Amino acid sequence: MIAGIDEVGRGPLAGPVISCAIVLPADFDVLGVNDSKQLSDHKREELYPQILNEAVSVGIGWASAQQIDDLNIYQATRAAMLEAVNHLTVKPQQLLIDAMSIDTDIPQLKLIKGDAKSISIGAASIVAKVFRDHVMQSYDQRYPGYEFSHNAGYGTKAHLAGLAQLGPTPIHRKTFAPVSDFF
């Protein structure tokens, strides 16, 4: 039983890092699963329910902006990945992780560009990306003026304009420039 693990949201100025650990059945046959960055928003949204429907188990891990500021982005990402594994309803015998390793006794293999090499990591990348996009859309409702539903917290022109006009929100990463300039 193999779990693929991937994360999204390491680079944005705002919002959490989201990780997904997913165990797929041996006969998994959802066509089009690939690295989420290679797919359109529409295609990811189309694949998301199909992947969830066929998966044996899915775990989501979350590291908040405060955790990112407290731990650093790398350690917060590792913590989110471990949380995702711990939320699986089955214990995998092997972890396939996109370019990282985590603190667990489960054997793991770190794959560079794993989201393009492993269907389970690719599926995890899609689930994590869509999940995070939905979170950022809800934050856009809560904190209007930053266009989080369009930029997912990345430092776009509209986001930076909102930051300059309104200042940082509780979901902004205080240790990330230019957010750090406000503290």
Burial level of 142, CB count in 10 A (0-12/13-18/19+)? Answer: exposed
What is the distance in angstroms between the CA of the first residue and the CA of the last residue of the chain?
46
Poorest-pLDDT segment among 3-17, 22-36, 84-98: 22-36
Minimal CA–CA distance to 21: which of 108, 136, 141?
A: 108
User: Rounded to an integer, what distance in angstroms lies between the CA atom of residue 14 and that of residue 32?
Assistant: 29
User: Rounded to an integer, what distance in angstroms lies between the CA atom of residue 145 and that of residue 21?
Assistant: 33
Minimal CA–CA distance to 118: which of 9, 36, 10, 18?
A: 36
Residue for token pair 């992947």: 51
- Name the pLDDT band for 8 (thresholds 50, 70, 90): very high
Domain segments of the chain as ranges: 2-182
Instruction: Look at the pTM and tell me if it is higher than 0.85.
Output: yes
Give 2-182's CATH code, choosing from 3.30.420.10, 3.40.50.2300, 3.50.30.30, 3.10.250.10: 3.30.420.10
Residue pLDDT, tens place only, 93-144: 999 998 899 999 999 999 998 888 899 999 999 999 999 999 999 999 999 9
Phi first, then psi, for residue 97 (nearest 5°) are: -120, 135
Check: CB of residue 102 under 8 Å from CB of residue 78.
yes
pLDDT for residue 35 is more than 80: no
Phi first, then psi, for residue 142 (nearest 5°) are: -75, -35
